[in-house]
Chains A and B, each alone.
Chain A
């Protein structure tokens, strides 16, 4: 589903985030990216979602060369990818359900169908009672669950999460990880960047370690 071939990413200013990375992720896999901060975890995720483009090499998702996608084609790639951010990136000028509706509005989904799907996914992350609340009034864990709901509402085949439990205490983090395990079980491909070792040991799955822009497989 995802393949990196000889991928190097150098940022303006010379910092080399990834150095000739080769890797393949199959459909339905659960993959953890670990490594110290600045090791290139976020960069790797950004390359998959075409938020950044590789300096050299080929990143391909579902057979598409993501690095060469035209500006106009990028949105359609992103609609098939759910993104979960450490800082949630919620919109505070609208309530919970409107945040979750945003991807469906963008995709042009019928309003009634959209509301049905949004409610279902909000229920799944346990926020149904808060659907009219402003995200500001949610706790950190609830905000992260809302972010996950937004990422999942368009039923993407691929979910990318960058430090999803980074700011959360252990209880919330375990909740979130349990949620990811459920999605993995229904066939979603997950790539999760984290430095939370507890989470990895709880879920199993494949682990890749990034170190100074190089990738190494970690055997379980």
Chain B
């Protein structure tokens, strides 16, 4: 166990020395990795910000049923009866006076409502069906819309739902991109490690002759790969921090124009740790593939 730890420590210091001795190569590789990683993680952050924005919207889908201004009492009763059927979970009647009062208290609109001589708003029911699937919502809305005395039905959650669907596609896209760039990361790491193995051909062959095991030879390269991946992850963090710094002011200005106090959200600490862990892992993986393959070549040309 102590021997194992000693070997790990030895390999780690050797790896650090190798990275430092080729500072420029290390830097360029980290930069290549950083740019690759910053694409999916940047998109991830963007989506996180967008869903934060969409999170303020009504989560529970509702149908607004607006009544004709000339609706008769019998028609009203028929509609009320329809709304007691089993596919409806909850209903709330909004008389037109109440709607106008709500409108008056709403910011910026009180001026408009004060100027009105008569209430232009219809009476309305806000309906929440039992089933909230898109098809069921549309069926209930259409069903209610056909009733006499109903002027119009409106699916309140429609555009929020569309946004959610778009975000879901975006999230799938992030995972696809992340998968692709993970492969790119493995390839970049593998390529860098391959060059290193070839450059250390003599050392490897001599070490072999004086009793080095495969693991002893492989270990520093694996550490180099993992550290290089980690540096790539940090570089991605740098790229995103710079991008965020550049975007913050214009985004907040745009949000301000919409009367919102929206701010760009930075990644959570756990997300940063996860990205660094994954880049380290994929750097290691690339090194592992490359070392195993290249060592066999080196030994064959002894």
Residue numbers of A with Cβ under 8 A of B are 49, 51, 71-72, 75-79, 83, 89, 91, 93, 102-103, 105-108, 110-111, 150-151, 154
Contact = CB atoms under 8 A, between A and B. Distances in A.
24 contacts: A49-B209, A72-B214, A75-B208, A75-B211, A75-B212, A77-B211, A79-B210, A79-B211, A83-B209, A89-B205, A91-B206, A102-B207, A102-B210, A105-B10, A106-B207, A106-B210, A106-B211, A106-B216, A107-B211, A108-B3, A108-B6, A150-B210, A151-B210, A154-B210
Contacts of A91: 202-203, 206
Nearest to A92: B202
Interface string B197-222: 00000110111111111101000000
A213 to B, nearest CB: 22
Contacts of A93: 203
A94 B207 CA distance: 14
Interface string B1-43: 0010011001000000000000000000000000000000000
A78 B211 contact: yes
Q: Is the interface of B mostly helix, strand, loop or mixed?
A: helix
A110 to B, nearest CB: 7
A103 B203 CA distance: 12
Contacts of A107: 211
Contacts of A105: 10
A83 B207 CA distance: 12
Residue with the highest number of chain B CB atoms closer than 10 Å, among A93, A108, A110: A108
Given A91-B203, A93-B203, A103 B3 contact: no
A182 B57 CA distance: 89
Contacts of B207: 102, 106
Pick the most buried of B6, B202, B211, B213: most chain A CB atoms within 10 A of its CB.
Answer: B211
A93 B22 CA distance: 13
Contact of A72 (B3, B203, B209, B213): B213
Contacts of B202: 89, 91
A108 B213 contact: no
A110 B6 contact: yes
Given A72-B213, A75-B211, 7 more contacts: A78-B210, A91-B202, A102-B210, A106-B212, A108-B7, A151-B210, A154-B211
A110 B6 CA distance: 8
Contacts of A154: 210-211
Given A75-B211, A106-B211, A89 B206 contact: yes
Contact of A78 (B6, B10, B205, B209): B209
Contacts of A103: 210-211
Contacts of B211: 75-79, 103, 106-107, 154
Nearest to B4: A108
B246 to A, nearest CB: 43
B300 to A, nearest CB: 12
A11 B208 CA distance: 21
Nearest to B213: A75
A85 to B, nearest CB: 8
